[in-house]
Amino acid sequence: MNQLERIRGLLIGTAVGDSVGLPAEGISRRRNKQLFREKWHQGLIFGYGMISDDTEHTIFISQCLLACGDSEEVFLKRFSWCLKLWLLSLPAGVGLGTLKSIIKLWLGFSPYNSGVYSAGNGAAMRSSVLGAYFADNLPKLDIFIRLSTRITHSDPRALIGAKAIAYIIAWIVREDLKQCPDIDELELILRLVEDKEAEWLNLTDQLIYSLKQSSSVAEFAQLIGQEKGISGYVYKTVPIAIYAWYSHFDNFRDALESVFNCGGDTDTTGAITGALCGVTMGESAIPKQWQKKILDFPRNTRLLIKIADRLTENINNNYQKNTPVSYGWWWILPRNLLFLIIVLMHGFRRLLPPF
């Protein structure tokens, strides 16, 4: 599979996982099953879906990579402005840690010191594209993961979660994986991410043990204490997304549905799993119906394809600076106001039966 197909799959997979999982975000597994009956499709508004912060942050990182090439200073400066302007556009879903860090940026804190001590998913949900971009340059990948993470999250666990996703993505692209790798190879990658932090090593042991036992995604989620729904803690989201990807290595739909059925933070878990599966299988393996049902503007699948094409061009030109893809930024504020109304409507719907 060529590089362009993989990067397109990564970006579109992120958006699809985000948009299909979004209506169920924050619902317990039991309530999830009652409302959605394990039948997954875009359902935010009249059978169509929209993207949330998971895809938006991935777009920001991608655009910053286009502008910076491989310049760390340019990347960090541009990304800090992306975050500050994003907050002004009134996004509906802002994690508390990310919100605090952006406020610090507006108050004049350096991007090196703006992160707050939080182990949320913010850094992990946007790290996948870094793995694909720097797949052949691991020292540079480590630097950019740290820059992308520390601007919002200073907790070492947030960095470990982001590294895990980026390292696996880089592995897939670098080795051009077409068949499911041996479990021991996956274990080596996970231990390469972090080989000293006890909680991460314990999670790695549990993940590898469950894979060898052929446990389902739901059973693994229960093993690590997520039987009621996947929380927003990066040490829960990331292992479950990796587990779903590996367990359903050649089936995008089955992988995504397995994490949606777990309940909880379904949009973020879906976005991360979608990125892993998309970069593995390519754009063509993502269900066309799920792709077509993303109804959004100006950040949509057409924009993602343009960004993927230009990112591939950057990589092939040895990380030369390029022009970010332009789009109708003036539509973002009215779009976000509409999105907020739709999200509130879904909030009221959850107050109604079935219980």
Q: In this predicted structure, what is the pLDDT of residue 10? A: 98
pLDDT digits (tens, 9 = 90+) for 75-114: 999 999 999 999 999 998 888 899 999 999 999 999 999 9
Tokens of 202: 């314990």
From CA 64, how far away is CA 80, in angstroms rounded? 10
Residue type, 80: S
Q: At residue 76, what are phi and psi to the nearest 5 degrees?
A: -65, -40
Q: What is the dihedral of CA 66, 68, 70, 75, to 10 degrees?
A: -110
Q: Average of pLDDT values for 160-165?
A: 98
Q: How confident is the model at residue 348 (pLDDT cuts 50, 70, 90)?
A: confident
- The pLDDT score that the predictor gives to residue 350 is 78
Q: Which residue has the tokens 């592995």?
A: 171
Average of per-residue pLDDT values in the chain: 96
27: β partners? 264
Instruction: Identify the three-state secondary structure at position 93.
Output: coil
- Hey, how many other C-beta atoms are within 10 angstroms of the C-beta on 159? 25
> Is residue 351 over pLDDT 80?
no
For 3-349, CATH number?
A: 1.10.4080.10
- Mind listing the pLDDT tens digit for each residue in 4-52? 999 999 999 999 999 999 999 999 999 999 888 888 999 999 999 999 9
Q: What does pTM read for this prediction?
A: 0.97
pLDDT band of residue 162 (cuts 50, 70, 90) is very high
**pLDDT tens digit sequence for 68-84:** 999 999 999 999 999 99
Q: Given pLDDT bands bounded at 50, 70 and 90, which one contains residue 355? A: low
- Residue 151: both structure tokens together: 């601007």
Contacts of 194 (CB under 8 A, 6+ apart): 160, 163, 200, 201
SS3 194: coil
**3-state SS class at 230:** strand
- Residue spans of the domains in the chain: they are 3-349
Tell me, what's the pLDDT at 354? 75
What pLDDT does residue 42 have?
A: 92
Beta partners for residue 116, in sequence order: 153
Return the ∠ at Cα 5 (arms to 63 and 193), rounded to 5°.
70
Question: Rg of the Cα trace of the chain?
Answer: 19
Q: Which two tokens stand for residue 154?
A: 């200073």
User: Is residue 90 within a helix (H) or strand (E), and if so which, with residue range?
Assistant: none
Residue type, 177: L
For residue 214, give the amino acid letter: S
What local confidence, expressed as pLDDT, does residue 37 receive? 85
Q: How far apart are alpha carbons 40 and 42 in whole angstroms? A: 7
**Residue 35's pLDDT is what?**
87
* pLDDT the model gives residue 2: 92
- What confidence score (pLDDT) does residue 95 get? 86
State the average pLDDT over residues 172-199: 97
Max CA pair span of the chain: 56
